[in-house]
């Protein structure tokens, strides 16, 4: 299941500057593992030590927040677009 993942600016240092990557995964959990195996450190930014999605990063599948779907068990199919949207708060001054 090839899905497109949009990487926000604060995480692009982990993807070598890429703003979009394509990953094969059948659910959000698998997608995060796949991402982390290719871009070490991404999982830690998205999940806490218990593996739960962090409360300051949202993951949307086709514009819908996975918290209102099946969280990490949300299924993915080819052509889906996954967006990672972190809380941001400007620079200083």
Partner 1 sequence: MTTFKDLIRRVKSEVREVSPDEAREMARQGAVIVDVREADEWVQGHIPGALFIPRGFLELRIEEKVPDRSQELVLQCAGGTRSALAAKALQELGYTRVSSMAGGFGKWKEAGLPIEVPRTLTPEQKSRYSRHLLVPEVGEAGQTKLLAAKVLLVGAGGLGCPAGLYLAAAGVGTLGVVDSDVVDLSNLQRQVLHTNASVGKPKTESAAATIRALNPDVRVVRHDLRLDASNVMDVIAPYDVILDGSDNFSTKYLVNDASVLSGKPSVYGSIFRFDGQASVFLPRQGPCYRCLFPEPTPAEMAPSCDEAGVLGVLPGIVGLVQATETIKLLLGRGQLLVGRLLTYDALTMRFQEYRVRRDPRCAVCGDEPTIRQVADLAWSCHFEPRQPAPA
Residues lying near partner 1 in the complex (CB under 8 A) are found at 6, 8-10, 19, 45, 55-58, 60, 63-65, 67-68, 83, 85-93
Least distance to partner 1, CB of residue 60, Å = 5
DSSP characters over 24-49: E-SBHHHHHHHHHHHSTTHHHHHB-T
CB nearer to partner 1: give 49 or 92.
Answer: 92
**Is the Cβ of residue 56 or residue 78 nearer to partner 1 in the bound state?**
56
Report the distance separating Cα 56 and Cα 10, nearest Å: 13
Q: Which residues pair with 23 in a beta bridge?
A: 3
CB of 73 to partner 1, least distance (A): 18
Q: How far is the CB of 64 from partner 1 (least distance, A)?
A: 6
Closer Cβ to partner 1, 55 or 78, answer by number: 55
Burial class for 75, CB neighbours closer than 10 Å (0-12, 13-18, 19+) = middle
């Amino acid at each position: 299941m090839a899905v497109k993942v949009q990487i926000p600016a604060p995480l692009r240092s982990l993807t070598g500057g890429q703003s979009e990557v394509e990953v094969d995964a059948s659910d959000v959990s698998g997608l995060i593992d796949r991402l982390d195996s290719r871009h070490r450190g991404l999982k830690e930014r998205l999940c806490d030590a218990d593996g739960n999605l962090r409360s300051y990063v949202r993951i949307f599948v086709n514009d819908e927040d996975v918290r209102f779907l099946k969280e990490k068990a949300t299924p993915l199919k080819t052509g889906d677009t996954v967006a990672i949207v972190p809380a941001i708060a400007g620079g200083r001054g």
